[in-house]
Structure 1
Amino acid sequence: MDEVEVVVAHAERTTLRVGDVFLKVDADQARLDVEVEAMSLAPVPTPEVLWCRPPVLAIAALPGTTLGRLGGPSTGSPTAWAAAGAAIRTLHDAPLPPRTGRAGRSTAALAAELDEECERLVTHGLLPADLVTRSRRVAEAALRPWTPAFTHGDLQIAHVFVDGDDVTGIIDWSEAGQGDALYDLATFTLGHEKHLDHVIAGYGTDIDIDLDVIRAWWSLRSLLAVRWLSEHGFDPFAPGCEVDVLKSLM
């Protein structure tokens, strides 16, 4: 019998692997509904949905390996990063899904959340005030009008699988929906800034990608993540992770 591997576990969700099957346990049925719907609409490779009986979603494993992880080295070639950029562009050019995703929060709501989180980071002593202030200033550039696109909403590099130089699939669609395309590009390259040029080459140079906005999303996403990660058993202070990203943007 295959062993049960705990892939990730925290108070909101748990993902288990049993052989070639992943079991996602989520008490929030709405997130499961979003994930199943998004995978059915996305014009890029996604895992096969085996069954969904809330609170559990069963999906098949993807071939290949991830491009890497935050805080670790990338295992992918420049060509693989470019292929990922092309896949992301295909997603962003697709017809809009019916829902607004994580990358689609309003500018006003996002600014309010950012202000509140920055205050908590300082009052709880998680980050120095000067680092928070400077990072908040960098993040300002993300708070601007944008054209809605079909976004993944949590496009970490660990969610993109490749086999050689080909993208074999993208996982974890629970935050998908209409949103800011540059949020996806920034999330995907967070902590792996040296690959941004490769991603943009694959994404296409026919549109203007504002690098200041990409940097702003790196800062904003990191600021919003530090406390949550610390409270859920993850380490944003590990080398190459969120706090190092913030320091690198100064």
Structure 2
Amino acid sequence: MEEVEVVVAHDERATLRVGDVFLKIDADQARTDVEVEAMAMAPLPTPEVLWRRPPVLALAALPGTALGRLGEPSPASPAAWAAAGAAARRLHDAPLPPWPGRSIDEIAAGLDVECEWLITNDVLPADLVTRNRRVAEAALRPWTPVFTHGDLQLTHVFVDGDELTGVIDWSEASRGDALFDLAILTLGHEERLGDVIAGYGSDVDLDVIRAWWSLRSLVAIRWLVEHGFDPFSPGCEVDVLRSQ
């Protein structure tokens, strides 16, 4: 009998690995609908859907290993990071998915709520929150929507040597800002941004990338704390805010 590995588990969803099969259990089947459709549309290697019996989605494991983990040095080569940037470009050049993403007003409103919570509950110093809230303003500008992954963190990008082997976890895919994907990919790994941009192949507004680093970190902290993750770990979200 194969050993069952708990990859992630909280009150919204859980992912288990049994051999070469991942079992994703999600309380919100709309997220799973998005994941399956986005993987079918994306011009990138994605996990094979083995079967779906709500609330469970069974996916085949991808070859290779993740680019790395937040808070730890990445073992991947500069060429592998460049390959991730090139993959992001292929995705952003693809036809748009039929469902919309969040509007600028929705993002700004969520940011305001989370900043108030961080200050009111003494989670972070007010000056740190305020400073990063100002930095985040640069992200809240009009953009041309592209097909975005929506959660393109380095643990979701798999490589084998210098080659990209696939991208996982597409439940947040939507129409969105291309620079958001690049920012999430390099969150906590600023030293890899040059490699990603080299693979992406076009000029990138670094102020907007930094703005998304601040915005994403500010809005994620409450969710991470409430779901058993530690944004105060070295190199993670709070350190990103302090570095801005």
Q: Do the two structures share a fold, i.e. TM-score over 0.5?
A: yes
Supply the distance in 1 between the matched residues of 2:89 and 2:129 (Cα, whole angstroms).
32
State the Cα distance separating 1:73 from its structure 2 match: 1.1
Q: Aligned partners of 1:212 and 1:54: how far apart in 2?
A: 42
Match of 2:118 among 110, 121, 127: 121
Q: Percent identity?
A: 78
Letter in 2 for 1:244: D
Match of 1:229 in 2: 224
| Separation of aligned partners in 1, 2:38 and 2:121 | 37
Question: Does the CA contact (< 8 Å) of 1:97 and 1:178 recur in 2?
Answer: yes
Name 1:67's counterpart in structure 2. Answer: 67
Matched pairs, number: 244
Measured in 1, the distance between the counterparts of 2:212 and 2:143 equals 13
- CA shift, 1:111, in A, is 1.0
For 1:63 and 1:116, the matched residues in 2 are separated by 40
CA distance in 1, matches of 2:11, 2:170: 18
Alpha-carbon distance in structure 2 between the residues aligned to 1:167 and 1:99: 27
Q: What stretches of structure 1 of length at least 5 have no aligned partner? A: none
2:169 is equivalent to residue 169 of structure 1: no
Taking the aligned partners of 2:98 and 2:103, their CA distance within structure 1 comes to 16
Q: In structure 1, what is the equivalent of residue 8 of structure 2?
A: 8
1:187-233 Cα deviation digits (max 9, x unpaired): 0000001000000000002xx31100000000000000111101110
Of 128, 133, 138, which aligns to 2:135? 138
Q: How far, CA to CA, are the matches of 2:174 and 2:41 in structure 1?
A: 10
Name the SS for the 2:155 alignment partner.
helix
Shift in Å, 1:124: 1.0
How far apart, in 1, do the equivalents of 2:53 and 2:144 lie?
A: 35
CA distance in structure 2 between the partners assigned to 1:95 and 1:109 by the alignment = 24
Report the equivalent of 1:183: 180
C-alpha deviation, 1:32, in angstroms: 0.5
- When normalised by structure 1's length, the TM-score is 0.97
How far apart in 1 are the matches of 2:122 and 2:145? 36
Equivalent residues in 2 for 1:96-107, closer than 5 Å: 96-100=96-100, 104-107=101-104
| Counterpart for residue 57 of structure 2 | 57
Q: State the distance in 2 between where 1:122 and 1:164 align.
A: 43
Give, in angstroms, the shift of residue 120 of structure 1.
0.4
Counterpart amino acid of residue 84 in structure 1: A
Give distance in 1, aligned partners of 2:132 and 2:204: 21
Cα deviation digits, residues 107-143 of structure 1 (max 9, x gap):
1111111111100001111111010000100000000
Distance 1:170 1:51 in 2: 18
Shift of 1:27: 1.2
Equivalent position SS for 1:75: coil
- The answer to whether the Cα contact below 8 Å between 1:25 and 1:57 also exists between their aligned partners in 2 is yes
* SS in structure 2 at match of 1:72: coil
Q: Aligned-pair RMSD on alpha carbons?
A: 0.6
The match for 1:240 among 235, 240, 243 is 235
Look up the SS of the partner of 2:193 in the other structure.
helix
1:6: how far off? Answer: 0.2
CA-to-aligned-CA distance 1:34-75 (integer Å, 9 cap, x gap): 000000000000000001111000000000000101111101
How far apart are 1:92 and its partner, in Å? Answer: 0.4
Q: Output the CA distance in 2 between the equivalents of 1:193 and 1:129.
A: 24
Does the 8 A contact of 1:126 with 1:227 survive in 2?
A: no
1:146-225 pair list within 5 angstroms? 146-205=143-202, 208-225=203-220
Quote the offset at 1:99 in angstroms: 1.1
- Taking structure 2 as the reference length, what is the TM-score of the superposition? 0.99
